[in-house]
Structure formats: structure tokens, C-alpha cells
Structure 1
Amino acid sequence: MAEFDAIDALLAAAGQGVPLPSAEERRRLREELNLSRAQLAQALGVSPSTVGGWESGREPGGEVREKYAYFLEGARTKLDAAAAAGAPADAAVPVPAAGDALASGDDSPADADRTVGPDDADVGVLSVPQPCVLCGQPARHQVEGFTQHLDPAECGTATPAPTPPEEPAALLKEPRQPAAARKSVRAVSGVKVVPVGRRVQAASDTPDLIGSAVAAALAEHAGDVEAATAVLVKRAIPDAMALLDHTRKGGRYDVVAHPWLPDILRKQTARGADQIWEARPKWTRPELPPGEHEITALDINGAYLSALKTHLPLGQLEHTTGDHHDRRRAGLHLITPPVWDHDTVLPNPVGNRDEPGPLWVTEPTLRLLLRVSGPKYGLCDPPQIHESWTSGATEGLLEKFRIALKDARDRAISEDDTVTLEYVKAMYSKFVSTLGESNYNRELYRTDWMHLIRSQAFANLWWKAHRAYDEGLLVVRAMGTDELHVAGDWRAVFPEGRGVAEVKVKDSYTVGNDPDQPPQPSENST
């Protein structure tokens, strides 16, 4: 019968797929060849986190399964031959050279699909990746002279791209010199410079406002750490504004500090809130697989500090209508969010919202929804945009401000300087919280900025949850801006430490029962 021909053809073509070794064996074969996930992913045409998922037990399908099986068989043959010959088998499998400059080594969100054009005057594209000033990993863009990742969720998570074999990246733009001359140059440390307007100046000539304030407070209180900390935290807001002014000297953009605000940004009642939904996650996985699970609650360091890297509108917000998003602008958008069908494994990008229908969201939330609904992820339908309040925007507006705070924080951690650490934390947290209507900050009144920075912190946490899921971890909870509960080998996914690009353990606990252990009788059993 004709109606069954298609089914017969499907059954004839169906197969069980090429057999693959265990997940542990897949990882062993790659690692014994000294190949990174990024190198293998590039050769197979997938993302590094996809390779990580295969090495955690997930199964590839289709044509890529055959390619992966071919690599694994070739890797085993190469290792067996090397073992028989008594020679090391660390020669890397050739990887296509095309696209080396674009290999980020990570499938965390990045603006790889972003087109940098003449309207992005503050963003430059690097021909060769250079270390990000925040996390040290290779980045392909510069913002106002600073090499860094365009997407905050990518920062600190990328695996270094392979270095082009011709010559070290640091020498690509320098005239070639005789070998002896090059050795002598390397022996002498260079002068670190920072951009100041059109010029650069030595970093040592840049005033250290944070260090000077800490030293003065300690001197004033005869070295009393608690007293110095208290007085510095108390003046954190004006000091943060002074630091912002200092870092904005020579900036490309003029900021409207007290713009007219639309009604959606005004409080509905004296003690109420405005109409902006920040998408704060408060999500718990409804069910875990059978068995006993070791859960680790991870603390995301410097959540608001990282969120200072977001697209901020410069001028007064302007109203538009229609289902259109302009990436050169940023602000607030009335949208109908898409249906989210993944609550069992991942939080909803718009957070916990019970009421249906349109709602006002910020730029980070909209960009998150647009990305996860795109062809790369395909997790939901695109949101429908009804109207927007936006202005021309830049992602680098607070970059020097953030770098100054981050550098001071890093130094304080390395030197076990609790005074500076608490001072810096108060500066960036209070800066964000007083951008709206506050009697403590009269210099900058940008309620829209406050909502955008907070929402960026929530979006960053969502991307970390997605990365954990993509790497094979069980995502159990996502709370606020800085708390993520996972089960599995999280250290293989996130670096542990106190740095901004690292995480630390907040708590650990056990959920479920070991199926191999018999149930324990209760005290009331007879």
C-alpha cells in the first residue's frame, strides 16, 4: 500500500548506530593524545561543551556519531601502536586551521554571531585573540582599548583557542628582530599602559583612588581594621561616584544623568514598585533521578560586579512600537514571553512569573530570550515585542569603572586585605542599588540602569545553569544572582576560587537514598 511506503523506507534506513566506547574511555582516549575538547570539537564541527557531554555519558547521533566513532577508533589505534613501539602518543590529531581565530573553546553564550560595524565605535575586532583583562582567557574584541569578551557570561569560561603555529601571537604585530635581540627584549619587563582619552599613560601614573582611601582610613584610625572598614563602607557611594567620574575622563560618550523617565519606571505607590520585571530566578528542579545525590550549592563571586558589563542606554529613553529589536539600542521592552517547556531541568529565562500575558522586561532579559530561541539553542519560540523604550547604547560604558573595582578586589584577595575587599564590595553593590530613586546618590538618577544591571546578573546566573546542564551536571536550584545548586563533578565545569570568574562552595548536602543500602527501620517499627 502506498501509504506505508514511507514507513517501510524509514525502517529500512533505520539502524542502531555505530557502537561507541564508554564515556570514561572516550575521555581517556582524547586526553592521552593531549587533545583539548576545543580541538576535537573543531574537527567534528560541534561545540566543546557537546564533546564534554559525550564524555559524561550523553550519546551523539546521526552523521556526527560516525565521525566521533572514527576519531575514537583512530585514537585507540594510535595509542596501541605507540604503546607497542614504546613511544609516547602525544602527537595531536590534525585539526583544521580554518576558524582558529574564532574558536572560543566554550559553548557558553558569546557574541560570535554579532556583527561589529561602524556604529559600534567602542568595539574593535582583533585579528589574533588576546588575553581578556578580566579573566585572562583569549578574547577577540576590544572595548575602549581593553581586550575582553563581549558577552559577560562567556568571560572566564572559555578554553584557550589553539595558538597559530607560525609564531607567537605577541610577536605578530612587531617587526622581526634577530634572535639575540628578541631574547634581550623579553628579559626586560615592559611598561604597562592604560588608555586615557586619545593617549596612553603608564599604569603606575594612574591614581589609585581605592588604595589611597584605604590607606588614609587605616592611618586615621591607627590601624583599627574594623573602624577603618566601617568608615569606608559608609562613604562607599560618593567614593564610587568619584571613581566613576575618574574612569570616565576622556570617554567617548556623554551620559544623561537625570533623564525624564516614562511612567513604567515610576513607582505605582509610595512604597510600591514600578512596572519593570527583572526576571529574578527562584527555581527548584521538581524531581531528581532515583538514588542518592550529593548536591553542592555554588556561590557566584562578584555577581553585580560582572553585571556592570551590559548594554546601557546613554540618553533619554525614546518610545517605539512594533516587533523589532535594534541591537545598537538598549532599554525596556513590553513583550509576551514564550512558553517554556524545560522547567524540569532548567529555570525559565523570565524567572518565576505566575501571571500570563505581556510584561515589561529589560534589555538583558530580552537578549537572553532572543538567543535561546535562536537556531543555536532552539529552546523556545521568540518573544513577541509590542513596544519599547530605548536609547543608543554601549556595553563599554562602565568598563574602566568595573576593571578598577575588579583589580582592587583581586589584589585584596591575594593580600588577604579584608578592609579593601569589604570597601570594594560596598562600592559596586551600593552603586547599583542607589541608581534609582535614592537620597544617598543625587549625582546619577538612572532607574533604567539599575534594572538592567540587576537583570544582567540574573541572566549571567541563568547561563551558568545552562552551562552546567550542557556539561552533564544535574541543575537542582538557581536562586537570585549568585546561588546555583548542582549535582555532579562541578569542578570539571567551573573553576573554584574567589575570583570574579570563579565559584566557591556555599553549602553541600545529600538528597535521596542509596539504592544498594537497605532501608533503615524507624524507631516506631515493631
Structure 2
Amino acid sequence: MGRSKMHPIPIIRTEERDSGPWPLISEDTDGEPRRVHPDVTSHRVAHTKANGKRVRRDKLDVPDPFGDGVMCLIDRNGSYPSACSAVLLAPNKLLLTGPLNAFDKTQAGIYLIDIPQWNHPDMPHLLGRIIDRPDDQGRVWVTTPHIKQLEKLVREGHLDAIPAIHESWTGKANESLFKPFYAAARQACTELVQTAGDPYKAYKTRLPIALRLLWPKRPEQRSPFWRPDWRMSMVAEASVRHWTVAFKAAQEGHKLIALHNVDAAIFWTPEGMPPRHIPDRASFGEVKAKLVQRGESIPEGDD
């Protein structure tokens, strides 16, 4: 932050947090997609990891009418930190910019919009859980990554028009503020995955904690940051990237049976035919595919 030419403001003073844009930002603003196909049953089951540890994992019961096939799990390696490579946000304070006739690409922040109609039943709504809590007029607050993606879907013909922006709080946009953090996280991952053991486990544990401290929730959490707009924009960027990969696979004809947060999408596919644009292994920030047999639990993390 100290090296940035944007002179970012990493912390909003306590006395300012109950006014302006800050009460408008919630955890739901991340837009994380959460959906299980209505004909598929999901439940938690006991699972024993390779090291003997007992955990709980999701199990999806796929009905016989789906035909022969396997579950294809796709996920991104380091989804949250890789989203930091180019997330568009405002390094300085957000200012009230009111209703907008169009999205200004030089600005970033939060926007109050109508929920766009989504007419693709094979995919959940792009805005994920944002749409579950509209205001009295059916409008929701979103961050810049979702506005950018809505514009892209309009250009590609999947949406008729960008929804109206009824209110906005924005600042001058920048997409490189977190890039040094992304580069450091990627280098650490590359080095520590070879070392494995406790150093790699510590890295996996500390990384999400560091990102959550962009918006500390408890007084005892000492942090040099308090920027909920940065935190939610970063998670929204990861959500958008995850949703986009899943949508591309669905367009290829693969049947989406579950979309979990920003880490995993599960498709029902003929055995040996995963989505053609996704490899079976990936480096930091890339997407990989894994085939899971019918009746097996869904692996997570380093299972």
C-alpha cells in the first residue's frame, strides 16, 4: 500500500463507518453462487482423508434419468488471491455519484441496480445470493466486478440490457492495487507446495485470514485495514470468474448439477469427457477438472 502511486486509504475512521456507503455493504454483496440442481439431492457425509482425519463432505445423489456418466468437479487453484491480480476497485474514499446513465469504466465502487431477468435455467443467476435480499423496490447493491460482467453478458447477447443504476458511490478506479499481494501469494504457493508439510499448511491457513482482515469484524482483530468495499470487490471478482467458467462449460452442453461458492462447480458428463477447455491439473490461479464417480463424496481442498 505504501508503494502505491494511488495513495490508497486503507482504513475508514470508526466515526465515519455508520454513514455514507459503508452501511450499504454486506457479506451478501460478494455474489457467491450457491445452487444445487432441483432433481439432485445434496447432503453431508463422513469422509476419511488420506492422513486418517475424519471430516464431513458433500455427497450428491444423481437420479437415474440423468443417464450414465460421472460427476466432473472443476475448481480454481487459489481463487481468492488470484482474483487480486486484476480486481477493479477505488483505492480512495467512495463519494456519492448518484444515478448513472451508464457505467463509467474510470470509476469503481458500489451500485444500486434492478435485478436483471435471467432466462437460462441451466445456470443460476450471475448475481448469486445478492438477489436473495432485495430492498422494498426490488433493487440490490453490487460492486464493480458484477457491473462489468453484466455489461459483458449484454454484449454477448445473454442479457437484453444493462440494468438501470439508481444510485452509486464511486471513486477513481484502479485494478493493480492488490497485484503485488497476488504475485507474492503465487510465488509462496509455488515454493511451499514443493516443500509441503507444515509450511504449506501454514500458508493455506494464513492466506484467507489475511484477505478477511481487509474487513475485520471484531475489535480484537487488529488490522491496518477497514475497507469492506475492497474485501467484497475481491470476493465478487472471484465469484464472477468462477461463474463464467461454469457458464462456458454449460454452453458446451455439460449439465450443471451444483455450483458451490467460488471454489467448485460440479457437472454431470459422459465418462472421460470433461469440459474441453479445462485441464486435469492447474497451477496457481488456473482451473482444473477432476472426475468423481457416482456415489462418491465431493473432494475439497487437499483431499
TM over 0.5: same fold? yes
Q: 2:29 aligns with which of 269, 274, 277?
A: 277
2:35 partner SS: strand
2:170 partner SS: strand
Aligned-partner residue type, residue 197 of structure 2: T
Q: 1:305 aligns with which of 81, 89, 97?
A: 81
Aligned-partner residue type, residue 378 of structure 1: H
Partner of 2:52: none
RMSD after superposition: 2.6
Please state which structure has a larger fraction of its residues in strand. 2
Deviation at 1:504, TM superposition (A): 5.0
Partner of 2:237: 456
2:290 is aligned with 1:497: no
Deviation at 1:355, TM superposition (A): 5.1
Q: 1:364 aligns with which of 145, 150, 154?
A: 145
Q: 1:348 aligns with which of 95, 115, 125?
A: 125
Deviation at 1:491, TM superposition (A): 5.7
Unaligned runs of 5+ in 1: 1-244, 268-272, 512-526
Unaligned runs of 5+ in 2: 40-62, 297-303
Partner of 1:473: 254
Deviation at 1:507, TM superposition (A): 4.4
1:277 partner SS: helix
Deviation at 1:477, TM superposition (A): 1.4
2:207 is aligned with 1:428: yes
Over 3 Å counting, the alpha-carbon distance change for 1:491 and 1:421 in structure 2 is farther
Over 3 Å counting, the alpha-carbon distance change for 1:276 and 1:474 in structure 2 is closer
Partner of 1:335: 113
Over 3 Å counting, the alpha-carbon distance change for 1:300 and 1:506 in structure 2 is farther
Deviation at 1:311, TM superposition (A): 0.6
Query: What is the correspondence of 1:25-424 to structure 2 with a 5 Å cutoff?
Result: 249=3, 251-259=4-12, 260-261=16-17, 262-266=19-23, 274=26, 277-286=29-38, 290-309=66-85, 310-323=87-100, 324-342=102-120, 344-352=121-129, 353-354=131-132, 357-374=138-155, 376-413=156-193, 415-424=194-203
CA contact under 8 A between 2:113 and 2:167: conserved in structure 1?
yes
CA contact under 8 A between 2:118 and 2:125: conserved in structure 1?
yes
CA contact under 8 A between 1:473 and 1:486: conserved in structure 2?
yes
Q: Distance in 2 between matches of 1:333 and 1:461?
A: 21
Aligned residues: 256
CA contact under 8 A between 2:72 and 2:292: conserved in structure 1?
yes
Q: Distance in 2 between matches of 1:466 and 1:380?
A: 17
Q: Distance in 1 between matches of 2:140 and 2:188?
A: 39
CA contact under 8 A between 2:21 and 2:169: conserved in structure 1?
no
Please state which structure has a larger fraction of its residues in helix. 1
1:373 partner SS: helix
CA contact under 8 A between 1:264 and 1:274: conserved in structure 2?
no
Structure 1 residues 191-220: Cα deviation after superposition (integer angstroms, max 9, x where no partner): xxxxxxxxxxxxxxxxxxxxxxxxxxxxxx
Structure 1 residues 223-251: Cα deviation after superposition (integer angstroms, max 9, x where no partner): xxxxxxxxxxxxxxxxxxxxxx5xx53x3
CA contact under 8 A between 1:333 and 1:361: conserved in structure 2?
yes
Structure 1 residues 293-351: Cα deviation after superposition (integer angstroms, max 9, x where no partner): 32123332211111113012110100112233111111111111211111x21110011
Q: Distance in 1 between matches of 2:78 and 2:293?
A: 21
Percent identity, please. Answer: 23
The TM-score, its normalising length taken from structure 1, stands at: 0.45
1:365 partner SS: helix
Over 3 Å counting, the alpha-carbon distance change for 1:475 and 1:370 in structure 2 is same
Over 3 Å counting, the alpha-carbon distance change for 1:402 and 1:452 in structure 2 is same
Q: Distance in 2 between matches of 1:281 and 1:253?
A: 32
Q: Distance in 1 between matches of 2:221 and 2:99?
A: 38
Deviation at 1:416, TM superposition (A): 4.0
Over 3 Å counting, the alpha-carbon distance change for 1:365 and 1:440 in structure 2 is same
CA contact under 8 A between 1:335 and 1:383: conserved in structure 2?
yes
Over 3 Å counting, the alpha-carbon distance change for 1:506 and 1:315 in structure 2 is farther
Over 3 Å counting, the alpha-carbon distance change for 1:292 and 1:277 in structure 2 is same
Structure 1 residues 23-55: Cα deviation after superposition (integer angstroms, max 9, x where no partner): xxxxxxxxxxxxxxxxxxxxxxxxxxxxxxxxx
Aligned-partner residue type, residue 266 of structure 1: P
Over 3 Å counting, the alpha-carbon distance change for 1:440 and 1:406 in structure 2 is same
Deviation at 1:506, TM superposition (A): 8.1
Over 3 Å counting, the alpha-carbon distance change for 1:266 and 1:453 in structure 2 is same
Deviation at 1:411, TM superposition (A): 2.2
Deviation at 1:292, TM superposition (A): 2.8
Q: Point out which structure has higher relative CO (alpha carbons under 8 A, 6+ apart).
A: 2
Partner of 1:122: none
Deviation at 1:451, TM superposition (A): 0.9
